[in-house]
Structure 1
Amino acid sequence: MKYVLSFLLIWLWGGTTLSAQLIEDAIETPDMEEIQTQINDPTSPLYYPALMKRYLDNDTTLNLAEYRCLYLGYSFQEDYNPYRVVEHTDRLKELYANADYDEFVCDSIIKYARLAIDDFPFDLRQMNMLVYAYRCKGDKEQEALWGYKLKSIVDAILSTGDGQTSESAWFVIYPAHEYDIINRLGLTVTSYVFEEPYYDYLKVDTNPFKVEGYYFNVSRILTVFEQKYK
């Protein structure tokens, strides 16, 4: 698993992240009931409103355990919709299709990407584009900030398993995050299979790792969809 993680953690923006060894050492299957208890307890250091305030205030002292609770705990919030449509998607697609990322395009990407993130605070794709847009503008402070938030969320996902089996599947709260993780490996998804009771298995194209695919635990996605939208 270590060599897979090492490859995954090479980012477009060139920032640092937890080492593969540190993530491997931190891997722990989430106890979702315990997370729910902690984030709903006003006396807990993991109380969700306090965690989210720190996240939105760009607190860079949030640790891996806190990011795990932030990411996974979002699925217990009232406004969580696992199949929400990202706002401004069409406009963002138009902007991303530009061959020349001049100042106007970069400013527009920043505007609409941040609006999308305001709607869904863990939108990895828009965060990635924010990093790129700020890099093009030469704004190193904002590039570093959004790069840090992006890598911290990915680290949180990676710390939930290794993706090699259903028992060690990576936990995600949004279907697109499965593809985001695979893409970070530099791989392409070739097919998708749902395996009962709550696993997505994404097969990938031929690769140097000789891995056929990766498992994702989508239990919260299915549970909330059944409760709220069916």
Structure 2
Amino acid sequence: MTNKLLLLIFLIIGTTVFAQEITFKAPDYKAIEKEIQDKKSTFYYPVLMEKLVKSDTLLTTEEYRHLYFGYVFQPKYNAFWKSPDDEKLRKFYNKETYDNKDYDEIIKLINRSLESFPFDLKQLNFLSYIYHLKGDEELAKKTSIKFDNIVGAILSSGDGKQCETGFHVLLVDHEYMLLNIFELTTNGQSLIGKCDYLSFEKGKYKVDGIYFNIEKMLENESKIFRQKL
């Protein structure tokens, strides 16, 4: 279902992130941490997050990069995060058709999920689709733009060809979301250094696999583990 939703949304909204050539730059986490904590900076995190929550369509690529990669420095960041309404939302994912009552319930559940974690790509994608079905094209477009720019921030962080240039992600779910977007099927996952390597069937694609940098995820997991001791 996810692939169908993505393809439909891209056709409806006319997104631009994937239509342009993307140059990449690995995030400088020390510089990002400094900027997002500086109240005089244009990247001051509370201000950026307020704009994101309000679906400000004027947020720039650099602002999205500071939002996404800067989230690792927020107390709420959890590499193991799951939506608090995951089971309820999964029920709706399995439905073939929806009615007005479903729309309102889905929107309520997803918005609650986004309050917990504003970069929940799966739910942002679903939310845009539901807004479209409900006939609210303005919110569908704003939500899709937010989704596209978060994905764009991830894609701007590397090329995935080797661990040194892997795509930086906050959650394992984001790795598989990128595969869904490009309709790639993995047949294996392995940890190589500070990267997740998702391999493909030999000869099926131009590359044999994609690297995702999970450095900050590993640091967060270690932090959570120490807190439990």
Q: Same fold (TM over 0.5)?
A: yes
Decide whether aligned partners of structure 1 residues 117 and 34 sit closer, same or farther in structure 2, where only a CA change above 3 A counts: same
Q: Partner amino acid for 1:134?
A: Y
Give the Å deviation of 1:80.
0.9
> Deviation per CA, 1:75-97, whole angstroms, max 9, x where unpaired?
10011111122111110011111
Q: Say if 1:187 and 1:205, in contact at 8 Å, map to a contact too.
A: no
Q: Against the structure 1 CA distance between its residues 213 and 92, is the aligned structure 2 distance closer, same or farther, given a 3 Å change threshold? A: same
1:12 to partner: Cα distance: 3.0
Give the secondary structure class of the aligned counterpart of 2:157: coil
Q: Is the 8 A contact 1:82 1:224 kept in 2?
A: yes
Instruction: Count how many residue pairs are aligned between Structure 1 and Structure 2.
Output: 218
1:219 and 2:218 matched: no
Instruction: Give, in angstroms, the shift of residue 19 of structure 1.
Output: 4.9
Partner of 2:171: 174
Structure 2 SS opposite 1:34: helix
What does 1:94-113 correspond to in 2, within 5 Å? 94-113=91-110
Identity %: 37
**Alpha-carbon separation, structure 2, partners of 1:204 and 1:93:** 27
1:228 matched residue in structure 2: 224
Unaligned runs of 5+ in 1: 1-9
Distance 1:207 1:101, change over 3 A: farther
Q: Within 1, Cα distance between the matches of 2:19 and 2:155?
A: 10
Name the CA distance, whole Å, in 1 between partners of 2:143 and 2:75: 25
CA positional deviation for 1:72: 0.5
Indicate the SS of the match to 1:13.
helix
Look up the SS of the partner of 2:22 in the other structure: helix
- 1:61 equivalent among 58, 63, 69: 58
> d(CA) in 1 for partners of 2:147 and 2:121?
6
- Give the CA deviation at 1:167: 1.3
Deviation at 1:110, TM superposition (A): 1.3
Aligned to 1:82: 79
Corresponding residue for residue 149 of structure 1: 146
Task: Please state whether the residue corresponding to 1:149 is helix, strand or coil.
Answer: helix
Matched residue SS, 1:135? helix
Give me the whole-angstrom Cα distance separating, in 2, the residues matched to 1:11 and 1:200. Answer: 26
CA RMSD in angstroms comes to 1.6
Are the structure 2 counterparts of residues 19 and 188 from structure 1 closer, same or farther at C-alpha, using a change threshold of 3 Å? Answer: closer
- Aligned equivalent of 1:50: 47
Aligned to 1:93: 90
How far off is 1:226 after superposition? Answer: 1.1
- Say yes or no: does 1:184 pair with 2:184: no
Give, in whole Å, the separation in 2 of the partners of 1:106 and 1:21: 33
CA drift of 1:119 comes to 0.8
Q: TM-score, normalised by structure 2?
A: 0.90
Deviations 1:158-213 (A, max 9, x none): 000111111110000111101101111101221100011x1000113467642211
Counterpart of 2:3? none
Structure 2 CA distance, aligned partners of 1:12 and 1:75?
31
**Shift, 1:224, TM fit:** 1.6
Cα deviation, residue 11, structure 1: 4.0
CA contact (8 A) 1:193 1:200 kept: yes
* Deviation, structure 1 residue 153: 0.1
1:71·1:153 contact (CA, 8 Å) conserved in 2? yes
Q: 2-side partners of 1:12 and 1:155: how far apart?
A: 18
Please report how far the alpha carbon of residue 106 of structure 1 lies from its aligned counterpart in structure 2 after TM superposition.
Answer: 2.2
1:95, 1:108 within 8 Å by CA — same for their partners in 2?
A: no
Between Structure 1 and Structure 2, which shows a larger proportion of helix residues? 2
